[in-house]
Amino acid sequence: MRTSDSIKELATALSKAQGAMAGAKKESDNPAFGSKYADLASIVDAIKKPLADNGLSYVQAPCTNDKDEVGCETRLMHSSGEWIHAESYFMPVAKANAHGFGSILTYSRRYALAAVCGIAPEDDDANAGVAAKPARQKEVADGPPRTMKSAEFIAHCTAMASATKVEALQQAFTKAILDARAIGDAGAERSFIEKKTMLKEELTRVMQMELGSQP
């Protein structure tokens, strides 16, 4: 994350805006987990008026890398000219087509915007942002679904817990969730989603505290 030379006025305005923000409504259905989540439109609805009322606005720009992974950069701006810029984190695309790229871009925008503004809805739709579940209705060449080895599971949990930035957490989570799905371990997948939700909320709280302590 990068910032303007000073973010004193921005930090004050963001603090006021966050105080006026309601939680993003979970109105979208996630059929894979039988749950609901806050989509991009819900997050925008929750933040747009508090931001505008306090002289704040944002822009998001999509980007890709040489691996055809998708991400977005997010900049939060204040009427004083101060800004906070969140660098892009890239995620793999399940299918290299318009739908695949669009799905990951929406996922990236949603989580980047929520993190920058300090909204932390539960991450109960993570499967949509990473990839569709592999088709395993029938046994395939590598056999039926199996349980992830303990050492591998612990290594993934440690990698997520070691992340000090939201983008680093997302990268570690993406690798963990794809490895779990590759072998059909639904239990490990649920554990990774729950752990990422908890860690992301903690990172968001730390970021809010750092912004609030700016001189």
Q: Is the pLDDT of residue 18 over 90?
A: no
Q: Of 55, 48, 3, 45, whose CA–CA distance to 24 is shortest?
A: 45
How confident is the model at residue 78, as a pLDDT?
A: 97
Residue 37's alpha-carbon distances to 110, 168, 188, in angstroms, are 11, 22, 20
Residues 187, 146: contact at Cβ < 8 Å? no
Mean predicted lDDT score pLDDT of the chain: 77
Mean pLDDT on 23-30: 52
Q: Does residue 93 contact residue 85 with C-beta atoms inside 8 Å? A: no
The rounded distance, in Å, linking the Cα atoms of 10 and 205 is 17
Q: Which residues of 50-84 are buried (b: 16+ CB within 10 A; e: fewer)?
A: bbeebbbebebebeeeeeebbbbbbebbbeeebbb
Cα dihedral 23, 24, 26, 32, rounded to 10, equals -120
What was the pLDDT predicted at 126?
45
Domain carrying residue 102: 2-212
Q: What is the pLDDT of residues 59-112, one digit of tens each?
A: 999 988 888 788 899 999 999 999 999 988 787 777 767 777 888 888 888 888
What CA–CA distance (Å, rounded) separates 98 from 135?
21
Domains in the chain, number? 1
pLDDT given at position 136 = 42
pTM given for the model: 0.53
pLDDT reported for residue 214:
54
**Would you say 185 and 147 are in contact if contact means Cβ atoms under 8 Å apart?**
yes
The pLDDT tens digits of the residues spanning 174-211 come to 888 888 888 777 888 888 888 888 888 877 777 766 66
In this prediction, what percent of the chain has a pLDDT beyond 70? 74
Give me the pLDDT at residue 58, please: 96
